[in-house]
Amino acid sequence: MNAGLEYANGKNANIDSGMWMHHMVMFAVGPGRVDATCGNNKASLPHMLIGSGGVGNERMFSSGNERTPALVPQWSGLTNVGYHPKATDKLAFIVDLMNENMEDKIAYLTMTFDYVPGDGAGFDDMRPVWFDAAQCSTSEVKAPKQSGAFMVAAKAWTANFEGEVVGSAGHMHDGGDHLTLDVSGTGVVCDSVASYGGSAEYTSKAMGHAHSATAHISKMSICMGNALKVKQLNKGQVWTLKAYYDYNKNKGMLHGDGKQATVMGIAIMYVRVRAGQTFGP
């Protein structure tokens, strides 16, 4: 799965032309779906936005403008795992686009799927786990400092199902340096590192407007293979996300008033669930 933003002529709409695929979140909505980390929460904001609760749907994919692809065989080497859509599922989206130009632009959110036709026989299912420094809220965290380094952490999550960890990737905002997942008793098991201005598309040309940064996050590294220290999710394991920012290293996004914009610390982890394994809280 991969999200993008493009113009009607098929050209990428990105920061170099003032267009941001700021956020999208894709939900699978339907009977039997339970969000792994917010499913027990009666009032969960991201789910309320799509007219649902944490039960009856799950956040299955998300992307910021860095547009990290979630490609299971590449992440894990596994070719027999995939997300099984159910006949009763509907997809729902939260979409937040940004246009820095002073005129309207028409752009399209794109979703690219690699899919296996048929009933998925021989494929194990997979389940997403959403870690968030503002869990079950809007994912936005007020920047605790206007300069220098700080860390924002998510409330620890106690695993409520079991399976094999396929991989995980983080999402941060400008100023972000890296984001870690740790498991109690083991320590850091995933370190997703931000890189900036990886291509010309990720460098803003405009000057003198609200956004002071010029090179923006273009990539978050993916925890897969050797970069993923825990491959087994067990019930009772305690997982914690920590997002490390440093405005001295990389400029943050500024609001019109010159103050740092809200930051994020998110990671999605995919877990292979074999038939017969316990599924959900």
Binding mask 21-40 for Cu ion (x = CB under 5 A): --------------------
Residues 126 to 145: which contact Cu ion by CB under 5 A? none
User: Cα dist. 127→152, 171, 237, 271 in Å?
Assistant: 25, 19, 16, 5
Q: Whole-number minimum distance, CB 230 to Cu ion, in Å?
A: 25
Residues 158 and 179: beta-carbon distance below 8 Å: no
| CA gap 2, 24 in Å, rounded | 11
**For residues 19 and 34, which CB has a smaller minimum distance to Cu ion in the complex?**
19
* Position 169 contacts Cu ion (CB under 5 A): no
Q: How many residues bind Cu ion (CB under 5 A)?
A: 2
Binding mask 39-78 for Cu ion (x = CB under 5 A): -------------------------x--------------
**For residues 22 and 229, which CB has a smaller minimum distance to Cu ion in the complex?**
22
Binding mask 246-275 for Cu ion (x = CB under 5 A): ------------------x-----------
H or E element at residue 240: strand 238-246
Q: Whole-number minimum distance, CB 243 to Cu ion, in Å?
A: 11
| CA gap 264, 245 in Å, rounded | 10
> Which residue, chain included where needed, has tokens 């999402």?
171
Structure token digits, residue 279: 């599924």
| CA gap 55, 29 in Å, rounded | 9
H or E element at residue 157: strand 157-158
Binding residues for Cu ion, rule: CB under 5 A, are 64, 264
